[in-house]
Structure 1
Amino acid sequence: MTTLTEPVAPTRVPILELIDVHAAYGRIEVLRGVDLVVPRGAVMALLGANGAGKTTLLRVVSGLMAPTEGHVHLGGVHVNDASPDELTRAGLTMVPEGRGVFPNLSVEENLWVSSYSGQPVERILTEAYTRFPRLKERRRQLAGSLSGGEQQMLSLARALASHPSLLLLDELSMGLAPLIVESLYDSVAEIAEQGVSILVVEQFASSALRVADYAAVMQGGRIVDSGEPGEISDRLSELYFGGSE
């Protein structure tokens, strides 16, 4: 039997597959039979209005919430019962909505904490400062005093410290100015070019579609459409309400 700690499956196997996934908060069902495939090495944009179930889907995928029905496969391995720590060791990392930084630690201390992944601290710092030079300029500054965009850079740098095979991004653009959002999505595109598979959840579609290889739209806890970004963009006005399109 395949286990979570065995080598990843062949490249033809999707990095992530959800099959008829249901999830609920108490008696309130939020995911109602989600089917979703993220090909290995691809950027998948998951779009939908607030309340569509996007964040709940990420919680299920990352092990923070157990599905009530259905199957979650990571690299071909069934992971319904895997803990967040086990999934992280298997190559899955999430940048949560609202950013994931320690506000009372400096930028550099936040990056030092990321060494729990087993990567040498100097390597983590070098990679973070090379990708985001502004973090090097702010390395002694408390993370809580950074701008929203700088905090998001730090969140991405911390997530990449573990060299994930699958990166989950939840509402990367929330509360940020359009120019900052475009810059962050440029970074997402660069990360993908280095071979990291990415599932990015967004309420506002245009930036995510710009860097995506594939896109899917959620409504009412279900995937209601999927395809290439251009196809989805053309149909958004019919499928998706509350976004920027």
Structure 2
Amino acid sequence: MSLATEDIKELAKELGRIRQRGVRRVNVASHNQRPTEAPVLDSIADLYASLKDLDGVDRPQRFRELLWDALKKYATKNGMTDSAAFVRDLFFLPDAPDAPVVPGELLSDLVKRLGYSHKRAGFDHRRRQEFAEFSWFLVEFVCSEVDAQNERIKAERGKEEAEKERAQTKEEKKRVVATTKVPAEPRKGAKKKRPGLTPEQRKRQLAREKFLRQQLRRDEQRRKLRVRNSIIAAVLALWLGVSIALYLSGTFKQ
């Protein structure tokens, strides 16, 4: 979006007219009123609405969304906090952009609060200056939103292209494997070959085999231990029997 200096000046004047009518009443038409004309602000608000998916909302809400979001951003700009509050308080209540307001009351309250009650010319000069500065920022704000949206779209397209390329590569590999590997026809009566084990299945199978080998070794050790104990018990029993017999026969008598 490109606007000339004359367009920025016209935008500042349009903001003044919107301020006098009130954002909620820009479309009011009666016997002595017509909808407020603001072609430059309309074009900016329409563009911003398309970025924020607000195409279905009416003109007052488009103005409100644009001005409120831009003023919040304007307040974060270095040295512009007071300027943002000045412009905001001529359009909205501080924390309620949707609340109904009376433009004349907002103006009177701000004049009194800033001490311009006896210096109305000074207030009007500042208002024109603040509106001119905010008009430049308003254009910059929408342009930055457009750039951010373009970057998001570019990133999403890049991601989609990368995913599409990966999918195509995967399909191409499948086609190459399918065309280069021709399975042999099974012989009649031959048993169907079972599919190979997956790495996880192979890992579990090896673990089971290791456990069975360990179990067999433990069983063999237990069997040998029982045989040895049996031999020792038999020898002890024989020795004990011989000792008893000798004792009874008097061999061990003193």
Short-chain TM bin: under 0.3
TM-score where L is the length of structure 1: 0.24
- Name the structure with the higher helix share: 2
Larger Rg belongs to: 2
> TM-score by structure 2 length?
0.24
